[in-house]
Amino acid sequence: MPEPTAPSSRGAIDLAAFKQPQPEQLNETGDAGVPTWVRSVDQEFFPEIVALSQQVPVVVSLGSPRSPASVQLDELLASVVDAKGGTLAMATVDAEKEAAIAQAFQVTQVPAVIALINGQPVPLFQGNAELAQIQSLIEELLSLGVQNGVAGTIAPLGTSAAAAGEEAAVVLPALHQAALDAIESGDLEAAEAAYKQALNEKPNDNDASIGLNQVRLLMRTEGKDLAAVRAAGAENPDGLAAQMEVADMDLIGGHVEDAFARLVGFIGRHSGDEKEAGRARLVELYSVVGVGDERVVASRQKLARVLF
């Protein structure tokens, strides 16, 4: 989804500056125009795969192209994944070339297959597997995705070159386009309404959810005086509203790490409803920046420490 451009107002900036490439940019050429939800991934693109796992479960196959067993396993996995028509995706990783990814998953032998749901690893199996076993595991994985609110449908990650050329002009869903048009005209309330309607019609619309969080950030910060907000935050370090306002202004001003650190600190010092409200706001800001962004990944680790 094209990123919304902020309307002209005090403190507003182009939120696209925060965002990493979206999962739709992970295109890879498939065979003879047949759509595929499988692609090879290196360390550079792995954050996008992690982000994609918030929409659908992602199967990660770590192997070696020099291993016939790995190649055969990937073919079996790909056939099952593609048969699901976008309800899950698959990333193949050359564990020899991408040792950092293998180490992150603590993989010591290949082939090894792991899934990602909401960025969290779910071990599946090591070594070879029969088609029936793979199909059964995939069904269990999809059920686990539903239980964790990850049950969307995504466009193919790859098409043939000819098909890609035909689809070069991307047409956004009508409500998404209406929201972007409203943002460009400065009507944030209309943009919010359009994104909310999109989510009412399709609760798993991840792009609409991100867009809604972006618009709400702009609405909260529009017309605010940075100095006054900072002064109020300094006077009331344990006030939830004051600290969330400063975090919003920090984020919109490009001070991403400061915004995250402020809310993580607040969450660590409080309990009950205030703690949960701070956590919910922080998760919103994560989506605005992009779940694959390294600053979000680092902050999530700090958040986990203060939560658990």
Place of tokens 């035909």: 166
Same fold, 28-158 and 172-307: no
Would you list the domain boundaries of the chain? 28-158, 172-307
Query: What pLDDT digit, counting tens, does each position of 123-139 carry?
Result: 999 888 888 899 999 99
Which H or E element spans position 124? strand 120-126
Q: Is the pLDDT of residue 14 over 70?
A: no
In the prediction, which pLDDT does 159 show? 52
In the prediction, which pLDDT does 27 show? 45
Architecture of domain 28-158: 3-Layer(aba) Sandwich (3.40)
Q: 251: closest CA among 266, 261, 239?
A: 261
In the prediction, which pLDDT does 22 show? 42
Peptide bond into 111 cis (omega under 30): yes
Specify which of 32-41, 46-55, 99-108, 161-170 reaches the highest per-range mean pLDDT. 46-55
In the prediction, which pLDDT does 142 show? 92
Q: Is the pLDDT of residue 24 over 50?
A: no
What is the token pair recorded at 229?
A: 């907000």
Q: Which residue has the higher pLDDT, 159 or 247?
A: 247
Q: How many CB atoms lie within 10 A of CB 31?
A: 9
What is the token pair recorded at 29?
A: 């050429």
Give the residue ranges of DSSP H helices in the chain.
Answer: 46-52, 68-83, 99-104, 131-147, 161-166, 174-185, 188-201, 206-221, 226-235, 240-252, 256-269, 272-289, 294-307
123 DSSP β-pair partners: 114
In the prediction, which pLDDT does 59 show? 96
Q: Is the pLDDT of residue 62 over 70?
A: yes
- pLDDT band with cut points at 50, 70 and 90 for residue 152: confident
In the prediction, which pLDDT does 33 show? 54
Rounded to 5 degrees, φ, ψ at 45 are -95, 0
B/e letters for 216-251, b = 16+ CB within 10 Å, e = fewer, are bbbeebbebeeeebeebbeeeeeebebbbbbbbbbb
Q: Which residue has the higher pLDDT, 308 or 156?
A: 156
In the prediction, which pLDDT does 171 show? 67
Percent of the chain whose predicted confidence (pLDDT) is above 70: 85
Q: How many CA atoms lie within 13 A of 282 on its CB side?
A: 30
Q: 300: closest CA among 119, 49, 150?
A: 119
Query: What pLDDT digit, counting tens, does each position of 162-200 carry?
Result: 344 444 445 678 999 999 899 888 899 999 999 999 999
pTM, entire model: 0.50
In the prediction, which pLDDT does 228 show? 95
In the prediction, which pLDDT does 98 show? 87
In the prediction, which pLDDT does 257 show? 94
Specify which of 44-53, 150-159, 232-241 reaches the highest per-range mean pLDDT. 232-241
Q: How many CB atoms lie within 10 A of CB 265?
A: 15
In the prediction, which pLDDT does 109 show? 84
d(C-alpha 81, C-alpha 235), whole Å = 54
- pLDDT band with cut points at 50, 70 and 90 for residue 15: very low
Architecture of domain 172-307: Alpha Horseshoe (1.25)
93 DSSP β-pair partners: 62
In the prediction, which pLDDT does 100 show? 87
Q: 191: closest CA among 208, 171, 167, 170?
A: 208
Query: What pLDDT digit, counting tens, does each position of 236-294 carry?
Result: 999 999 999 999 999 988 899 999 999 999 999 999 999 999 999 999 999 888 877 78
- pLDDT band with cut points at 50, 70 and 90 for residue 99: confident
